[in-house]
Amino acid sequence: MKSKTLKILKDNNNDFISGEKISNEIGMTRAGVWKHIEALREEGYDIETARGKGYKLLASADILSYEEIEPYLNTKFIGRRIIHFHSIDSTNKEAKGLASSLEEGSVLIGEEQSSGRGRLGREWISPRGKGIWMSIVLKPELEPERLSRITLIGAVSIFKALENIGIVSEIKWPNDILISKKKVGGILTEMSGELNMIHHLVMGLGINVNLDKDDIPEDLRHKASSLKIEENKKINRQRLTGDILNEFEKYYIEFKKDGSLDGVIEILRSNSALIGKEVRVISGKRERLGLARDINDRGQLLVEFEEGIESIDSGEVSIRARNGYT
Ligand code: BT5
């Protein structure tokens, strides 16, 4: 209902509209409309009130609700339902709990996460109103073997959306987005299902958009950054969120047809932070040094070890820290 009031304010081209008119249009009392206005103000909308004239929307809020992202969306089903939280422990955790009752393509977004998670239970810092912390619920009907590559679609979608706004980044297979060798985005894909049947899958994407230096804990500053820090300007989170979802749907529809990742792999190859570099391949307690050679058509990283070339499916891959992170 609050969103209806917002829509009327927006449709009114930043002009005054009376409380009575709004209340007639949405079928609510004027006191109810007033409550909406108060709630919208609380979210950050700047709304002017004038006696005898009503309400006027002066400025929209910098929040990632459906109403604010929708103008940038051109998808069929990805992001057509957005559940927006002002604060949440972790969008991935919440999405896993809700996934079975949500339609494919539903997205959960939190303005901040109090317990954001990376892979292997690591912490993911997610300060309020500064990043994109979101999870997409997916229900593809493909064997689990192919599904593990789905993270690559997320990485390429972020890369392409950044490219659309003129930001050059690199993809560190399989789940990191880097600018100037520092991490500005990461992906955590979690599956739920049985041996040969996936019920649903939750892809969590975290992008450091407008974080300032102080938002990044000191011990991460050598390896983490944000778009704002790297580009020296504030970035529109709403447009970027819409763009990521647009790019994601394009590649995901292709992938769902037959598991094809052709376009995705091409982009990964030509914008990889790993190919040609020495890498440390870590799986559990085992660490090996090798040279990242390529990414094959199945999305695996080809690494040349002393013993020969191996294709790596997923797991921990980090470039030997020579100059900086990655
Ligand atoms: C990732 O893990 O890169 C996956 C991050 C996924 C976050 C999203 S946000 C929405 C959704 N809900 C969640 O709870 N999670 C997902 P990993 O590769 O394991 O990287 C984690 C490591 O990156 C940490 O151990 C830190 O060293 C570093 N780190 C933590 N917060 C960071 C940040 N905001 N930016 C860059 N690096 C960070």
User: How many whole angstroms separate alpha carbon 88 and alpha carbon 71?
Assistant: 25
Centre of ligand 1 from the C-alpha of residue 257, in Å: 30
Nearest CA to ligand 1 atom 29: 124
Centre of ligand 1 from the C-alpha of residue 256, in Å: 27
User: How many whole angstroms separate alpha carbon 60 and alpha carbon 57?
Assistant: 7
Within 10 Å of residue 211's Cβ, how many Cβ atoms? 21
Q: Is the CB of 39 within 6 Å of ligand 1?
A: no
Q: What is the pLDDT of residues 15-46, one digit of tens each?
A: 999 999 999 999 999 999 999 999 999 999 99
Cβ–Cβ under 8 Å, residues 201 and 140: yes
Mean of per-residue pLDDT scores for the chain: 92
pLDDT at site 306: 93
Q: What is the pLDDT of residues 86-122, one digit of tens each?
A: 999 999 999 999 999 999 999 999 999 999 999 989 9
Centre of ligand 1 from the C-alpha of residue 207, in Å: 9
Q: Is the CB of 220 within 6 Å of ligand 1?
A: yes
pLDDT at site 54: 95
Atom number of ligand 1 nearest to Cα 186: 3
pLDDT at site 143: 75
User: How many whole angstroms separate alpha carbon 72 and alpha carbon 320?
Assistant: 39
Whole-prediction pTM: 0.94
Residue 263's alpha-carbon distances to 55, 156, 157, 267, in angstroms, are 48, 9, 11, 7
Using 50, 70 and 90 to split pLDDT, how confident is the model at 61?
Answer: very high
Cα-flanking dihedrals φ and ψ of residue 115, to 5°? -145, 50
Counting ligand 1 atoms within 8 A of each CB, the residue from 94, 122, 124 with the most, and so the one to mutate, is 124
pLDDT at site 318: 64
pLDDT at site 207: 98
Residue burial 217-232, b: 16+ Cβ < 10 Å; e: rest: eeeeeeebbbbbbbee
Mean per-residue pLDDT, 212-234 = 98
Q: What is the pLDDT of residues 273-321, one digit of tens each?
A: 999 999 988 887 788 899 999 999 989 999 999 999 999 987 556 655 4
pLDDT at site 324: 42
Centre of ligand 1 from the C-alpha of residue 295, in Å: 23
Alpha helices in the chain (DSSP H): 2-11, 19-26, 30-43, 66-69, 91-98, 144-147, 150-164, 227-231, 237-258, 262-270
User: How many whole angstroms separate alpha carbon 230 and alpha carbon 185?
Assistant: 13
Nearest CA to ligand 1 atom 15: 117
Q: Is the CB of 128 within 6 Å of ligand 1?
A: no
Is the model more confident about 81 or about 191?
81
Residue 12's alpha-carbon distances to 6, 17, 48, in angstroms, are 10, 7, 13
SS3 309: strand
Cβ–Cβ under 8 Å, residues 74 and 246: yes
pLDDT at site 236: 98
Mean per-residue pLDDT, 118-144 = 93
User: How many whole angstroms separate alpha carbon 17 and alpha carbon 147?
Assistant: 50
Nearest CA to ligand 1 atom 30: 124
- Tokens 């992202």 belong to 69
Atom number of ligand 1 nearest to Cα 120: 19
User: How many whole angstroms separate alpha carbon 157 and alpha carbon 75?
Assistant: 13
Q: Is the CB of 174 within 6 Å of ligand 1?
A: no
